[in-house]
């Protein structure tokens, strides 16, 4: 089934084969619905990295961020 596009009905009928093709390096495969692209199936190594935690270790905290500063605030009454 090594095609570059597959319809949603074909994907439903041959899902395991499509995923196997992508895993073997024959992907990525674009999924279409009524002739319009709606999704892409890509190998895990080609997928974008997880954004959660990607900036870990890049921020440096200077000083105390919990204690209030020495400024008195006035609330509008």
Mean pLDDT value across residues 4-25: 93
This prediction has a pTM of 0.56
pLDDT digits (tens, 9 = 90+) for 30-73: 999 999 999 999 988 755 667 778 788 888 888 777 777 777 77
Instruction: Say which CATH number the domain at 35 has.
Output: 3.40.1620.10
Is 77 inside a domain boundary?
A: no
First and final C-alpha spacing in the chain: 71
Is 31 inside a domain boundary?
A: yes
Is 52 inside a domain boundary?
A: yes
Provide the token pair at 65: 């961020």
Is 63 inside a domain boundary?
A: yes
Cβ-proximal residues to 31 (8 Å cutoff; 6+ apart), any chain: 5, 6, 7, 8, 11, 37, 38, 39, 40, 41
How many structural domains does the chain have?
A: 1
Is 56 inside a domain boundary?
A: yes
Is 29 inside a domain boundary?
A: yes
């Amino acid at each position: 089934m090594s095609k570059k596009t597959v319809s949603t009905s074909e994907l439903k009928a041959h899902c395991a084969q499509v995923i196997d093709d992508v895993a073997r390096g024959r992907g990525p495969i674009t999924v279409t619905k009524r002739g319009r692209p709606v999704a892409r199936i890509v190998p895990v190594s080609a997928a974008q990295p997880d954004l959660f935690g990607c900036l870990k270790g890049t921020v440096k905290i200077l000083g105390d961020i919990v204690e209030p500063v020495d400024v008195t605030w006035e609330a509008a009454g």
